[in-house]
Structure 1
Amino acid sequence: MTNEASGTGDMEIELKLVIDPADGAALARSPVLAGITPDDGAQSTTYFDTPDGALRDKGLSLRVRRIGERYIQTIKAAGTSGAGIFARDEWEHDVAGPAPDLGGSSPLGAMVDEAVLARIAPVFSVTVRRRAWQVVTDDAEIELVLDEGTVTAAGRQAPVAEIEAELKGGAPAALFALARRLGTEVPLRLGVLTKAERGYRLSDGKLGAPVKAAPLSIDPAADVAAAVAAIVGGCLRQFRLNEDVLRTRDDLTALHQTRVALRRLRAALSLFKQVLNDDCFATFTAGLRELARALGEARDLDVVIDGLGTQAPDSLTAARDRAYAAARAALDDQNTRDLMIALVEWVTLGDWRLRPAHDEAVSQPAAEFAAATMTTLRRRLKKRGKHLAALDDEARHEVRKLAKKARYATEFFAPLVTGKKAVRRHKKFRKKLAALQAHLGALNDLAVAPGLLERFGLADHPVDAEARERLLRKAAKAHKALMKTKRFWSAGA
């Protein structure tokens, strides 16, 4: 959907998916597209920004695309996006040549100052073969676009192989129905990067590198439904970016961050269970738990091998190689691909949101929900962490899981924290909570190690009792410090 540079953008709603570069021909042969003649042509697109990325920092992208002898300028503003579904304001119009039009008629002038406009220059380019099918179903009209080509930035190149299913008319559920049909023939995964993001990452040398969870963007006045969509979308984005790394190589950091993304996602579903608990809830939580379990063996072996250092035997290294192969197989399984796409559909269009049993819970201000949730988590953490050093391994593990859940909640709800006092308290609370989680995590690694070592005939490697006692003292001290920390969710403005 386009607008003739009027200063008000049309809203574009699309489902973005990615395929392996070798699968484009198979997609084009799909029976779903049989009898539909696609538009087929080459496109060359140049993206513009300042050297320091001023447009990117404002959530804007500026491009000029050449199609034949025609040059089309497009400006996109950040909207709701995270994983799969993208909804953005867009302004598009023809320009005279390959340079962008930054004159008085451009809406960009109202978004950035003249000093920024004066420094805009080419940053990267994307060249693709684009095939577009107009798919008409009983419920909707969808433009299905397959782009195959390369992105070029800073002397580097990377492949592009992605699908955009844009809703032209009808119900958004039709986008997911089409994805399910195509996914039975060609492996499809959620797309979480726009071409602009892909180009920027390539330019920065970060495309294909493991990533940590990125800060979320949630309006402090948002309701619970909007907060859930943003939080789950952020978790899925972290998962997909690290999954892509792990599928190409054994990478300890990528494995860790993939598992972190799954833990954050499971924590999010648990935190919002009273809102999300419809007929699909149990299916998604079970699927995520099973996937996390499939990745756990490789991570456990990484921890043990790291602890043993040069004393780690070849049998452990071989076991780790097998565990990584099993982890990749789990990620490549169609059930995993389908699970992630179905999660986006559920969060966007699920009964919990469109036909809630308790509408007041879904429409409740997210900040109120966050305050009540943090109060409950703190109370439980205080009770279970009492006499922490005297707890057995199993009870302490339960405290660790609760601390982790509280930390993720603290991160999820960060955008809802307003006012200088609350922000200061949030920062301190998060720091104290992270310290407690770190000590409890190290203790858990010590508790798990003997069982793993025994499996490989290495039971003669004793646990460092002194290190364990030191960690117990540190964990107990960290718990007391956290309980003394003021609550950020009741600080006021």
Structure 2
Amino acid sequence: MAEEVELKLELAPGAVEDALGSGLLGEPTSILQQTSTYFDTTDRKLFDRGFTLRIRKTGNSLVQTVKAIGESASLFARSEWETPVEQGQPVLDHSSPIENEFGIDIVLVPKFDVEIERRIWNFDEQHSKIEVAVDQGEVVSGERRMSVREVELELKDGDPADLFIFARKLDATAPFRFGVRSKAERGFALIDAERLVYKAERLHLEKSMRASTSFQTIAESCFRHFRLNEDILLRQRNPEALHQARVAIRRLRSAFSIYKPMLPGDEPQRLKDEFRWLAQVLGEARNVDVLLPKANDADVRSRLDDAREKAYDDAIAALTSSRARALMLDFNEWLRCGGYLSHDQTAKIREQPAADFARSALQRMRKKLKKHGQALAETDDEHRHEARKDAKKFRYAAEFFATLFDDKRGERRHEKFIALMASLQDELGALNDLVTGPDVLEKLGLSEHPARDGVVSHADKSRLIDAAQIALDEVIDAKRFWK
């Protein structure tokens, strides 16, 4: 079994030619024509359990590769098992975990092919050896096809930070986005037809995992959630994809807050602020999306449609800006190589078991919500908004840490807790809409429009506050699943 450390970088149309013609890469060491056939059961058992099996033909050579793509994998490292084979059919034996995981009677059939021209270079960067592979080709399933344009940087020996040094050189000649989908995921997406939105995936944290590793796992998951929806948003202006991209950023920023005790220095706050900027730009479009379904007046709807186009233009411009590209590079490099991983003052927090860190964090957030959630009727909108943000962070933390407390009692309590948190967020969200709706209309120049009342909430504020208080008290009184 080998452990890969790599970056997968997706290139826009034309960017491959930019990279090849830039002088950065020079002549490749080799050019390979590869056809990879991916196998699974008819009901996709391998993929659903976090494994892929492919047989790749390169010249006259056939190599079977099994990869772990699920809970044990990450954006930058994954486990794989390679075995030379003589024919284009899977071999199931002790050389991979498939037989042990699924039994000897499992039947695998071909699902799709990936046809690639791969150019390979080997570079010395600082004191590291890096293999660079540029892939161009297609994923093919019957009549359906999906193009592939990507660069893989694999660390053969040395420091992972040197991967990012090389990545920055590449970005200067051929701008890229970090890839978060494997070729296998693309193939199965092609079979199913492209999804229009991705919600947050369930995280799996091990109880014995170090706190620092749990943070990296959570942050990688949030980044993947963002990138999957960003790709959709860049192709089509889907409101749900935009909403989920914002949710992913909120979850990521919450992770920064939750793990703040082990994230010293200025860089974590700078990155968090930059993600806040991006979320705010997307938020302008989301505000219009929320109002549009409520607009019955033709003039109001027309003006909201125009405002939506402008807001989405701004969102796309932000996502494709050099500022956003720099943020993605800075964040991913810091996450994998940042000083927080070796800072002496935070070593004790960083190296404690993830479950111990989670208990402390959840207890701290419960205490904060209880403090800010007292007597909602007697405070102002600003303080009620703080309680709403506390509730969101608390719920995200509960979702992040769920598998650390997955005994029967913990699961039962967690399920009830999440249901109560959902009710609380609904009540606080309705209250927030009542407060912010008029502000959004004013920003859009519709505050004096005769039909403005049709697109803002006119709910009874006192009733909403009372309902929010009841929901909040139920959350605080709920049995703690982390105990």
Look up the match of 2:91: 101
Moved >6 Å (runs of 4+):
none
Alignment of 1:43-122 (within 5 A): 43-78=34-69, 80-83=72-75, 85=76, 87-102=77-92, 108-116=98-106, 119-122=107-110
Q: CA deviation at 1:383?
A: 2.0
Look up the match of 2:446: 457
| Residues 256 and 82 of structure 1: CA distance in aligned 2, closer, same or farther (over 3 Å) | farther
Q: CA deviation at 1:486?
A: 0.7
Are residue 487 (structure 1) and residue 480 (structure 2) matched?
Answer: yes
Instruction: Check conservation: 2:292, 2:304, Cα contact below 8 A.
Output: yes
Q: CA deviation at 1:208?
A: 4.8
Look up the match of 1:4: none
| Residues 16 and 483 of structure 1: CA distance in aligned 2, closer, same or farther (over 3 Å) | same
- State which of 8, 31, 34 in structure 2 corresponds to 1:16: 8
Look up the match of 1:394: 382
Are residue 199 (structure 1) and residue 187 (structure 2) matched?
Answer: yes
Alignment of 1:163-312 (within 5 A): 163-205=151-193, 207-309=194-296, 311=298, 312=300
Q: Which amino acid aligns with 1:29?
A: G
Cα deviations by residue, 1:191-210 (Å, 9 ceiling, x for unpaired): 111111211222222x3521
TM-score, with length taken from structure 1: 0.92
Question: Which shows bigger deviation, 442-451 or 151-160?
Answer: 151-160
Look up the match of 1:363: 351
Q: CA deviation at 1:257?
A: 0.4
Look up the match of 1:406: 394
Cα deviations by residue, 1:340-367 (Å, 9 ceiling, x for unpaired): 2321221211111033422111001111
Where 1:16 maps in the other structure, the secondary structure is strand
| Identical positions, percent | 39
Q: How many residues align?
A: 476
Instruction: Check conservation: 1:389, 1:475, Cα contact below 8 A.
Output: no
Where 2:174 maps in the other structure, the secondary structure is coil
Q: Aligned partners of 1:153 and 1:252: how far apart in 2?
A: 29
Question: Which shows bigger deviation, 301-310 or 240-249?
Answer: 301-310
Where 2:152 maps in the other structure, the secondary structure is strand
Cα deviations by residue, 1:370-427 (Å, 9 ceiling, x for unpaired): 1111111111211211222443221211111111111111111112113111111111
TM-score, with length taken from structure 2: 0.94
Where 2:199 maps in the other structure, the secondary structure is coil
Q: CA deviation at 1:155?
A: 4.0
Question: Which shows bigger deviation, 173-182 or 459-468?
Answer: 459-468
Instruction: Check conservation: 1:82, 1:237, Cα contact below 8 A.
Output: no
Instruction: Check conservation: 2:433, 2:457, Cα contact below 8 A.
Output: no
Q: Aligned partners of 2:435 and 2:142: how far apart in 1?
A: 47
Q: Aligned partners of 2:378 and 2:93: how far apart in 1?
A: 70
Q: Aligned partners of 2:297 and 2:118: how far apart in 1?
A: 52
Q: Aligned partners of 1:414 and 1:258: how far apart in 2?
A: 22
Q: Which amino acid aligns with 2:227?
A: R
Alignment of 1:31-46 (within 5 A): 31-34=23-26, 36-46=27-37
Gaps of 5+ in 2: none
| Residues 377 and 104 of structure 1: CA distance in aligned 2, closer, same or farther (over 3 Å) | closer
Q: CA deviation at 1:138?
A: 3.0
Q: Aligned partners of 1:374 and 1:111: how far apart in 2?
A: 34
Gaps of 5+ in 1: 1-8
Look up the match of 1:448: 436
Q: Aligned partners of 1:163 and 1:230: how far apart in 2?
A: 23
Cα deviations by residue, 1:299-341 (Å, 9 ceiling, x for unpaired): 1111122232455331221011011011001000122122123
Q: CA deviation at 1:93?
A: 2.6
Question: Which shows bigger deviation, 106-115 or 402-411?
Answer: 106-115
Q: Aligned partners of 2:59 and 2:79: how far apart in 1?
A: 26
Q: CA deviation at 1:173?
A: 1.0
Where 1:114 maps in the other structure, the secondary structure is coil
Q: Aligned partners of 2:185 and 2:344: how far apart in 1?
A: 35
Question: Which shows bigger deviation, 166-175 or 351-360?
Answer: 351-360
